[in-house]
Structure 1
Amino acid sequence: MSGLHTWPGRYTDRHGSEDLAFESDGRELIRTTIRGVLFEGGTMDTLGALAGDPPEAMFRLHDGDLCSCLLEWEVPLPVAAAGREPRTGVLHCALRLGEPVASGALDEEGLTVTLRLDGRAYGGEDYGDFETALYAIQRLLPPGQLLRACIACAWSDYHPVGHSMMTGLACFRNTKDRYRRVDGKRGPQGIFALWPQLTEFVQETHLCGEFEPRGAHAGYRGTFP
């Protein structure tokens, strides 16, 4: 499969830790091999074994997805500043997935995100999802510096009813003129009317050649940050 990015990472559970590599298309595909088992999913908290559930002694699963573990990975993240070439920082991500409980959920799911750039660290808290994390990190950056990623792009937006931990960001680069006129949720210029024409879903940290900084046009979700 072409167009995949590789992120160095680490998997930890009650059996120990191992270094690994995650592959992703930057959209709705993430996969990795852990202890010889290939896992794939649309987000880091929905990684399931492709060849059926592996032996229970090897992993803990919840509805077929990994749980009771710590997933860590690093993503390159460009940062632009006026009058300078973009520098590439490293986004350190750690997702802790707890144990299944009677309610059908996990007793813990925490996402810690830290941007390391120019010898400094920004963030480092449990944010819960990438939208919250990247908005917070952008606010911590020095004035005039801007993340170059889909979260900060003029053509991206979230659905009003909510989204997943990651990859729930809709790109509207093929309908730019209509997206410029979005003025809220409903009505002829609302995000609901335009939603069926979205180009694709992307990860918040993805970046394509049509990136434009999010400016005065607020779309549905508003300005960034």
Structure 2
Amino acid sequence: MKPLAQSNLSGISLPFCFSDCKGSETGTLITDGHVLKFILRGVSFSGSSFNLLSFPEIKKENVIGLFDIDKFDTILGVFRIEYPITIVEAGSETLAPIILQFDYTNDKENISYSFNYHGVNYKSERLFSFVENVLIDLRQQLPTHCQINCCLSCKYSSYHPVGNNDFGDLACFKYAKNALSYVKDKCALLDVWENIYQENRLSQVQETFICSEFIHCSEEDWLYKCY
């Protein structure tokens, strides 16, 4: 795969691989932390996750000829993406790509990962349904006192109590910091969620993303996530 690189567009460019029964190929996608955008087999795709991709409706017949697609328009295949995450240990930061694999040929758990930190390779020993659990598993495998800095570990992020998608469905509450500080249960979280949604300030982010307002969550923060 190609090395990580900053893009001239709004976001970063990341290498990815795709394979299905019709072949395998590599490419580069662009993400701003909210939406993935890439071209595969001549078709432009965008979406918050690989199982929620949209493509030009006018090309749907062509897409069906190029890919295996289920009744929900999910592309059935295996995506591998290199996404940079930051590890903090003893005050020192290390930026390295976690390789996430999404296998949409399976019906249940479909996500695995590998990560190299200081020459040691960490990888999943089982499959996961959510990237949230991937990052939790990696944190538990890393040396003691290592901290992962990303949207999932930020005090301003949380999931909706009703449920979430496998990737990219984490809500960012950085525009409601004061209100979030009073949240201690699901009902209070839903109230804040509804308020910022009505104000059009709610945004969904990828768990592996990070912005300049990141602050690591603490035990005092009540958040609807397992991290």
Match of 1:45 in 2: 51
Contact kept in structure 1, 2:186 and 2:224, CA below 8 Å: no
Match of 1:149 in 2: 150
Structure 2: distance between partners of 1:59 and 1:109: 22
How many Å apart are 1:57 and its aligned residue? 3.2
Match of 1:163 in 2: 164
Gaps of 5+ in 2: 1-7
Match of 2:77 in 1: 69
Structure 2: distance between partners of 1:185 and 1:107: 30
Relative to structure 1, is the Cα distance of residues 52 and 192 closer, same or farther in structure 2, using a 3 angstrom cutoff?
Answer: same
The superposition leaves residues 68-110 of structure 1 with CA deviations (integer Å, 9 ceiling, x where unpaired) of: 31111100111112232x1012110111112xxxxxxx74561
| TM-score between the two structures when normalised by the length of structure 1 | 0.86
Match of 1:116 in 2: 116
Match of 1:12 in 2: 19
How many Å apart are 1:216 and its aligned residue? 2.3
Q: How many residues align?
A: 212
Match status 1:79 vs 2:80: no
Match of 2:140 in 1: 139
The superposition leaves residues 87-140 of structure 1 with CA deviations (integer Å, 9 ceiling, x where unpaired) of: 012110111112xxxxxxx74561112222211222323111111111111122
Match of 2:3 in 1: none
Higher helix share: 2
Identity %: 24
What letter is aligned with 2:44? L
What letter is aligned with 2:190? F
Match of 1:193 in 2: 191
What letter is aligned with 1:111? I
Match status 1:23 vs 2:24: no
Higher strand share: 1
**1:89 match: secondary structure:** strand
**1:136 match: secondary structure:** helix
How many Å apart are 1:8 and its aligned residue? 0.3
Relative to structure 1, is the Cα distance of residues 95 and 141 closer, same or farther in structure 2, using a 3 angstrom cutoff?
Answer: same
Structure 1: distance between partners of 2:169 and 2:38: 20
What letter is aligned with 2:123? G
Q: Which of 190, 194, 209 is the equivalent residue of 2:212?
A: 209
How many Å apart are 1:217 and its aligned residue? 2.1
How many Å apart are 1:193 and its aligned residue? 1.0
Structure 1: distance between partners of 2:193 and 2:109: 29
Alpha-carbon RMSD: 2.0
Structure 1: distance between partners of 2:203 and 2:136: 21
How many Å apart are 1:211 and its aligned residue? 0.5
| TM-score between the two structures when normalised by the length of structure 2 | 0.85
Match of 2:180 in 1: 179
How many Å apart are 1:172 and its aligned residue? 1.1
